[in-house]
Structure 1
Amino acid sequence: MDTAPRVVEFGSHDTALQAAFCDFVPQVFRRADFRRWCEWGEWTDDYRAFAVLEEGRAVATTAVMRMRLLVEGREVTGYQFGAVASLPSHRGQGLAHLVMNAALDACGDAPVFLFANPNVLQFYPRFGFQPCEQTLFAAEHAAVPGGTPASRIDLGDAAMRAGLSALSNEGLPVTERFGVRGYSTAASWHVANGFARPLWRLGDDAWVCAEVEGDTLHIDDIFAREPFDLRAWIPRLIDRPIRSVRFGFTPERWWPEATEAGEDLEAWLFVRGLSLSPRPHGFPVLART
């Protein structure tokens, strides 16, 4: 009798397998959870998972999100991997290799990338991935609070999620050096898990993910249909004086004078079949899975 592990692929309509995936993730990634994200209806056809099951329970997974990548302004379809893991009780059995290979086979020759954690940096080169440095960007900028404060957005509201989806799909990409269009479901996952900074509404067509820490304003993302004067809005995004701004993306459009602030040591990027710009770049924080 053949007892070799079998990899199962499932997507947005496979609710029973989604539940097994949701049960699995917190057992490996202690702070991550997909339940609220699924309840919001954010698991779309762009997101698929590959799992080894044991009596209906997921014991190893790899998830794949299809993305409209931008590389030096050129749009290409690529795939970002996430939730690559096996249960501690099932490690050393080659199950992670099985689900990785199944996911890679499904992606064909398309570009693939992922963000790893420091404990598994030796794992991904076995599958043809190469490490790629991510850069932090910052700018000196003194400002004090002023004007009517921007209003905070609650993505628990379905209408707000629809608004974010529209801005992400139809608006300006936050960066074209190494960026992405239409990633609202990746952004909502961060929000659903409490990983994202607050999202602020500057108007119907401009939302900003930002928060002050110390004397620095951290701007992690901008969703906008048209360019606008970001500097003019900063007094309405802060609740105390600031001296600098840091960006969670490459700010070539929004703050061309921003300078490199070192390597992003929280973003261990690996790429396969993807030739990125030799210029410094940082993939948007809210688009990482």
Structure 2
Amino acid sequence: MKLVSHYHGNETLRKSFMQLAFDIFGIDFESWHELGYWGERYIPFSYADGDRIVANVSVNELDFIIEGKSFKALQIGTVMTHLEYRNKGLSASLMNHVLDMYEGKYDFMYLFANASVLDFYPKFGFEELEEYQYSTRISAGQGGFDLRKLKLADDLHLIEKIVYGRVPISKTFSTNNSFGITMYHILNIFTDHLYYHAEEDAVVIFTKENGAVQLYDIISTAPVNIKNIIDCLGDIDKIEFHFTPDDSNLQYQCVPFKRDGALFVKKGAGLEFPRFVKHPFLSEA
């Protein structure tokens, strides 16, 4: 076996990686790659047995915005091992390689672990941290500017322009340079939940469940007035945010966020991860 990385230009290794990701997680990277969204900021570090990818730890290079300041962040994801190659220490070896490669180069390293591996990442210096979700109550049926439902077949260029030129959604806590991850979510998860707010020139991503809106993202190339967005969401009385809002004109309730698994963070010397924040859903790898 050999350790390989930066191989998305190698068709054989890339397709083997994609097959492993599909087999383990059901992740389909094909259209994401074909449309050019697998950029230089997404890097798999893998063990290859010949031309077959058998274990992997990927990194996403992005930035945190914390209280208006930018910090280098590294999100780890797609940690996987082929069933035939497990219990050989391959994932641990790749994790140590990544940590060595990026030691001192990033302010924060972090990942989202599922419930079955919560005891794995503390061995590498990661600390489990609690997230918090914000919600607000509003008066139903306020009306406002109409939203236009987007279709990928017709509106992909518009979506790309806004995603690649976006400004951080929150100065309190958000991410930047995460366009590749965001486009994966748009292509594979939220295809039927994309809307355009022409007045704010924003892509709005939300679902409605039991009279409440799950607001996943507001993507724009300039700061928006969230109240203008909320006013056009229709007959609802509650909005739950899947990012950290910082519009002081709204009254928020903040409660611990429960996910299937946990957020783990490894901090640089002298740095603290902010409390009472929610990592943006569309930046999760």
Q: Does TM, scored on the shorter chain, surpass 0.5? A: yes
Aligned to 1:205: 201
Contact 1:139 1:246 in 2 (8 A): yes
> Which of 233, 240, 249 does residue 246 from structure 1 map onto?
240
1:131 is matched by which residue type in structure 2? E
Contact 2:145 2:197 in 1 (8 A): no
Aligned partner of residue 164 in structure 1, secondary structure:
helix
2:83 is matched by which residue type in structure 1? P
Asked if residue 217 in structure 1 is aligned to residue 220 in structure 2, the reply is: no
Aligned to 1:107: 102
Q: Deviations over 1:94-117 (max 9, x none)?
A: 011122122222222222111111
Asked if residue 146 in structure 1 is aligned to residue 143 in structure 2, the reply is: yes
Aligned to 1:167: 165
For 2:54 and 2:137, the matched residues in 1 are separated by 48
1:208 is matched by which residue type in structure 2? V
Q: Deviations over 1:19-41 (max 9, x none)?
A: 121111011113x2211211111
Contact 1:67 1:183 in 2 (8 A): yes
- Structure 1 residues 70 and 235, CA gap change in structure 2 (3 angstroms): closer
**Normalised TM-score (structure 1):** 0.88
Aligned length: 279
For 2:260 and 2:91, the matched residues in 1 are separated by 23
TM superposition shift of 1:84: 0.6
Aligned partner of residue 265 in structure 1, secondary structure:
coil
Unaligned runs of 5+ in 2: none
> Which of 15, 25, 44 does residue 19 from structure 1 map onto?
15
- Structure 1 residues 124 and 248, CA gap change in structure 2 (3 angstroms): same
**Normalised TM-score (structure 2):** 0.89
Asked if residue 283 in structure 1 is aligned to residue 276 in structure 2, the reply is: no
> Which of 251, 267, 272 does residue 266 from structure 2 map onto?
272
Q: Deviations over 1:101-155 (max 9, x none)?
A: 2222222222211111111000001111111111111111122273563112334
For 2:233 and 2:42, the matched residues in 1 are separated by 33
> Pairwise CA RMSD of aligned residues?
2.2
For 2:41 and 2:201, the matched residues in 1 are separated by 24
Unaligned runs of 5+ in 1: none
Contact 1:7 1:98 in 2 (8 A): no
Give matches, 1:67-216, under 5 Å: 67-109=62-104, 110=106, 111-144=108-141, 146=143, 149-155=146-152, 158-168=156-166, 171=167, 173-194=168-189, 198-203=193-198, 205-216=201-212
